[in-house]
Amino acid sequence: MRNRWFRYGLSLVTVFCAICSAGKAQNAIAQDVVQNKKASESEIEDLKEQLNQMEEAFLVQQKMMKQMETLALSQQEQIKELKTRVESMSEKPVAVAREEIKEEVKQEVGNYLASDEAREKLGLGLPGKNEPVNAYYLPDKEKASIGFQTRDGKYSLNVGFRFQTRFTYKDKDDDFDEADTTDIDVRRARLCFGGNIYSKDLFYNVEIDADSFEVNLRDYYIWWTPAAAGEAISIKGGYFKVPANRQWNSSGFKLLLQDRSIASDAFKQDRDYGLDIFGKPFDGHMEYHAAVFRGAGQNPSKAFGRDENIDNELMYVLTARYYPFGWYNSYNLATGWDETDLKCEENLKAVIGASFVYNAKERDKKLEDTDSAIGNVDLGVRYRGFTWDSEYYIRENDPEGDGDSITSDGFYTQAGYFVLPKKLEVAARYSMLDPNEDVRDDVQTEYTVGINYYLRGHRQRVQADVGHFITETTETDKDENRIRLQYQMIF
C-alpha cells in the first residue's frame, strides 16, 4: 500500500516537472520568435535607408556627369578656338605677334583715356571737405580739358584750348596773274571758358580766338535748359553762330575736310547777336530753331559807318530737321555737327532738314536797302564709319527801290569712310557756286579729296587734302590747285 502511493506521488512529480519544462520551452520559443521578428523589421528599415541613400547618391552622380559633359563641350570649343588662333599666327614669328598685340592694347587704352568718360573719371580735383570737385555741368564738354565746381554743383568753371596749324601750297595758272604761294599759319586758335551758374541747368560760354594773329571774342552767350523740359526746349542768348546752314554749324575742329565748301562759305550767316529758342523733342526724332538776330554782322561799323542797326530790320531764322532713325550720336546741340562718323554708328542714322533766313547777310555784311532771303535743304547719313552730307542753297536779293533782283544758288556733296575704324579716314567733296544766275561764266566749282589720321580722336589728328578749283570767266577758266597739311590738338 505504501509503495503504491509512493509510485503515484513519483508519477505526479514527474508529470508536473514535464509540464513545467514544456511551459518554459514554449516561453523561450515565443521570445525567440518575437526577437527574430523585431530583428527582421529593423533590418528592413536599414535596407530601405541604404536604398534611399544610394538613390540620392545616384542623382548627385547624374548631375555631376551632366556638368562634366557641359565642361567637356566648353573645353572642346576652347581647343578649337586655340587651334584657329595658332594656325592664324603660325605664319608670324611669336615676338612679332606679341608686339602687334601690345600696340593694339596701347591704342585701345589711349583711345579710352582720351574719351570724355575717362576724362570725367580721372579728372583733377577730388572731393574733399572744402575742396572743389571736377565736373562738367556744361553742354559742350568736348571743348574743356579741366573743370572745377562748388560742392553744391551750382557753380562751375571749365577751361580748354584748341588750335590748328596748317601748311598750304597754292598753284595758280597764268590766268590769275598771281604767283604761286607757300604758307604756314595758325588756322584756328581758341581759348574756351564755360560752366554753369546759379543752378545745374543755366550755362555760360566765352570763347576767345587768335585766328590770323588777331585776338577777338568769338562766342559769348548764356544757355538755359529747364530741367522739367528735358531737351525739348532750350533758350540761348548772346553772340553765337546763326543756326541755319548746317555745315557752318559744324565745329571747325570736326570737319571732314580742313575747311567748309565754297557754297557753304558763300551762304553762311556767320555769328551775330541774337536769341534762339530750340530743342529736340519726340525722343530726338526732331530738331527745331526759332531765332531772331540783329543782322548787322560781326563788324557792323564797316557796313554803315557806325555800330548800330540803322534800318531797324532784324534777321529771322526758322530751322527744322527730322531724324527718322533717331538722334545722331555724333551731334550735340552745343558743340555743333561732327562731319565724321568717329563714334561709328552701329545702326543707320539719317537726317533731312530745311531752314529759312529773312533779312539775311551776305559775306557777313548787311545789305542796305535790300530785302534778302535764303533757303536751304540738307540731307545726311551715318553708318558704321561711313558719312555722307549734302546741302543746297538759294538766295534772293531784292532792292527796295529800282533795280533787278539777284538770284544765286549753290550746293555741296561730300562723303567719308574709315578704312581703319576710328583711325584712318578718306574723304571727297564736290561743290558748286553760282553767284548770279543772270550772269554767264561766273560759276565756281570745287573738287577736293583728303585723308585724316586720328591719334586721339578729334583731340589730336592730322589731315591732308588736295583741291582743284575752277572759276569760269568770259574768256577762259581760272584753275587753282591747292595742297594742305594740318595738325590739330584740343587740351
Closest of 222, 186, 228 to residue 206, by C-alpha: 222
The per-residue pLDDT for range 21-45, each reduced to its tens digit, is: 555 555 555 555 445 555 566 778 7
User: Look-up: residue for cell 585701345?
Assistant: 108
CATH classification (class only), 164-186+223-490: mainly beta
The per-residue pLDDT for range 91-124, each reduced to its tens digit, is: 545 454 566 666 666 666 666 655 555 555 544 4
| CA distance linking residue 428 with residue 387, whole number of Å | 11
Q: What pLDDT does 402 receive?
A: 75
The per-residue pLDDT for range 282-328, each reduced to its tens digit, is: 988 999 999 999 988 766 544 444 556 666 789 999 999 999 998 88
The residues near 242 (Cβ < 8 Å, ≥ 6 apart) are: 248, 268, 269, 270, 271, 272, 274, 291, 293, 315, 317, 357
| CA distance linking residue 171 with residue 477, whole number of Å | 15
User: Look-up: residue for cell 526724332?
Assistant: 285
Q: What is the DSSP letter of 367?
A: P
Higher-confidence residue of 17 and 334: namely 334
Band of pLDDT at residue 237, cut at 50, 70 and 90 = very high
SS3 259: coil
Band of pLDDT at residue 90, cut at 50, 70 and 90 = low
- Residues 44/49/55/61 CA torsion (nearest 10 deg): -140
Q: What pLDDT does 400 receive?
A: 80
Sign of CA dihedral 115, 380, 377, 352: negative
Q: Are 479 and 468 in contact (CB under 8 A)?
A: yes
pTM score of the predicted model: 0.69
The per-residue pLDDT for range 167-218, each reduced to its tens digit, is: 999 987 665 667 788 999 888 899 988 888 998 889 999 999 887 667 788 8
